[in-house]
Amino acid sequence: MALITKKIKGTEDVLPRQSYRWQFIEGVMREEAKAYGFKEIRTPVFEHTELFARGVGQTTDVVQKEMYTFDTKGGESVTLRPEGTAGAARAVLEHNLENEGLPIKASYFVSCYRYEKPQAGRLREFHQFGLEEYGTQSPVADAELICAAQSILDRLGLDKVRLEINSIGCPECRAKYNQALRDYFGGYRGQLCTTCLSRLEKNPMRLLDCKSPEDKAIAKDAPKITDYLCEECEAHFAEVQKYLGCAGVEYTVNPTIVRGLDYYTKTVFEFVTDCIGAQGTVCGGGRYDGLMEELGGKHTPSLGFAMGLERLLMVMDAQGIEIPDTSSCALYIATMGDEAKAKAFELLKRVRECGLTAETDVVGRGLRAQMKYADKIGARYSMVLGDNEIAENKAKVKNMESGEQTELALDESFAEKFSVLQLASDKAFGI
Ligand code: ATP
Ligand code: MG
């Protein structure tokens, strides 16, 4: 077979047999977002390029190297979103959501596009879940947001994911700190990678985020931002930590975390694991008090985080966390003869109305082939309907795992009785 084309490098398909895994983690995220009072926002997959240039930041890797940007037929430059924050912030401003009361709390699921070197945990199309909160400068909000991320990771059953937090201060503390970094890294000019050399003037904090081992070694002894925080930023950071303590959230302060976006201020944080190789950051976020102004809005202190769904699934795989497959078939009815087929059709409708997945033959297979198919799709129960069953108006449903059979009448009570029966065994399946 010669296919005319295959998927684009750095993209992935989620197949029907895998999608329950996505739905499971998305379900947990939806529930937690709701518990914390966040409502979903949906924004377009492409935006005017300047939104990301300004909203993500000119000096970031994302804007400098990774964006999918193209001109439309109308001659406009548009970009596939590389992340979810800028689009959400634009929508909040464009629709004047501040009039609806502050803080504005939004959650999102987005596909993101970045022209990166594809490798494990690094794709060109990937997916993020995020929470965004606009219009609060209180450190309570920072702590609450971090708690929400922690709750999600806990509910997914992840083990050994460390929370690292830092404060990168406000523009005032940062100006002093940037100078200290220029002085420090300036002494190592000859040893820095070319990207870092160009960052030295424009955005020296980015040097702390360099992945090259040589630069990492130099960065180890660089001045620490925590020694340059102004009184207000220091107090804010202390409060965030106090509230994290109240919620029993464990963390370490890592003064080298700077995050990839330019408009982060004060709190930044990452959830990191060592179990999936080099791309171990599953969640990153922080405060971006300057973003809304940068996009043309009023000064609106804001904060948020994003989690990479592919990376979370990788961690769950690596840690052997089983995800319940609620999508598999609860009942397969195999049929022999036209009357049985009609009866199956009628019964299945009722079983489905009970919220269960139920199937029958729609291909025209013989009985043996139907049972083979039931096995293949992992049906938890099967039932054979033939002339005898129709005549007696009862049939046996068989638990495919234990082989146990239960006789049920083929009347109005069938769906409900089956529902009760399978509920008990679902518990054994861990569903
Ligand atoms: P990294 O340092 O790994 O490049 P980043 O700082 O670019 O991450 P963010 O922009 O903060 O990442 O995105 C938030 C999360 O999205 C990351 O923590 C990660 O889980 C996920 N992510 C980012 N880039 C990719 C990618 N190319 N492929 C898959 N997941 C990604
Ligand atoms: Mg990146």
CATH number at residue 37: 3.30.930.10
Predicted local distance difference test score (pLDDT) of residue 286: 97
* Residue 122 alpha carbon, nearest atom of ligand 1: 28
Predicted local distance difference test score (pLDDT) of residue 361: 97
pTM over 0.85: yes
In this structure, is residue 69 part of a structural domain?
yes
Q: Whose CA is nearest to atom 6 of ligand 1?
A: 260
Q: Is the CB of 207 under 6 A from ligand 1?
A: no
In this structure, is residue 270 part of a structural domain?
yes
In this structure, is residue 275 part of a structural domain?
yes
* Tokens found for residue 224: 């620490």
Ligand number with the minimum distance to the CA of 65: 2
In this structure, is residue 182 part of a structural domain?
no
Asked which of 293, 318, 343 is the last residue of a domain, the reply is 318
CATH number of domain containing 369: 3.40.50.800
Edge-first strand listing for the sheet containing 381-385? 358-360, 331-335, 381-385, 394-399, 405-409
Residues 368 and 393 in one domain: yes
Residues 313 and 335 in one domain: no
Residues 310 and 383 in one domain: no
In this structure, is residue 198 part of a structural domain?
no
Residues 255 and 292 in one domain: yes
In this structure, is residue 357 part of a structural domain?
yes
Predicted local distance difference test score (pLDDT) of residue 431: 47
User: Ligand 1 centre and the CA of 99: distance in Å?
Assistant: 32
In this structure, is residue 191 part of a structural domain?
no
In this structure, is residue 177 part of a structural domain?
no
Residues 40 and 156 in one domain: yes
pLDDT 10s digits, 102-141: 999 999 999 999 999 999 999 999 999 999 999 999 999 9
Residues 158 and 245 in one domain: yes
Count of domains forming the chain: 2
Residues 357 and 386 in one domain: yes
Asked which of 268, 284, 318 is the last residue of a domain, the reply is 318
Ligand number with the minimum distance to the CA of 123: 1
Residues 305 and 364 in one domain: no
Residue 341's domain spans which residues?
331-425
Annotated ligand binding at 191? The verdict is no
Predicted local distance difference test score (pLDDT) of residue 428: 53
* Residue 82 alpha carbon, nearest atom of ligand 1: 10
Q: Is the CB of 279 under 6 A from ligand 1?
A: yes
* Residue 121 alpha carbon, nearest atom of ligand 1: 29
Residues 162 and 245 in one domain: yes
Residues of the chain with pLDDT under 50: 430-431
d(CA 367, CA 371): 6
User: Ligand 1 centre and the CA of 270: distance in Å?
Assistant: 11
Q: Whose CA is nearest to atom 29 of ligand 1?
A: 122
Edge-first strand listing for the sheet containing 69-71? 46-48, 77-80, 69-71
User: Ligand 1 centre and the CA of 338: distance in Å?
Assistant: 56
User: Ligand 2 centre and the CA of 260: distance in Å?
Assistant: 7
Asked which of 257, 286, 318 is the last residue of a domain, the reply is 318
Residues 350 and 412 in one domain: yes
* Residue 114 alpha carbon, nearest atom of ligand 1: 27
Q: Is the CB of 306 under 6 A from ligand 1?
A: yes
Residues 280 and 366 in one domain: no
Residues 294 and 408 in one domain: no
Q: In this structure, how many other beta carbons lie within 10 angstroms of the beta carbon of residue 142?
A: 29
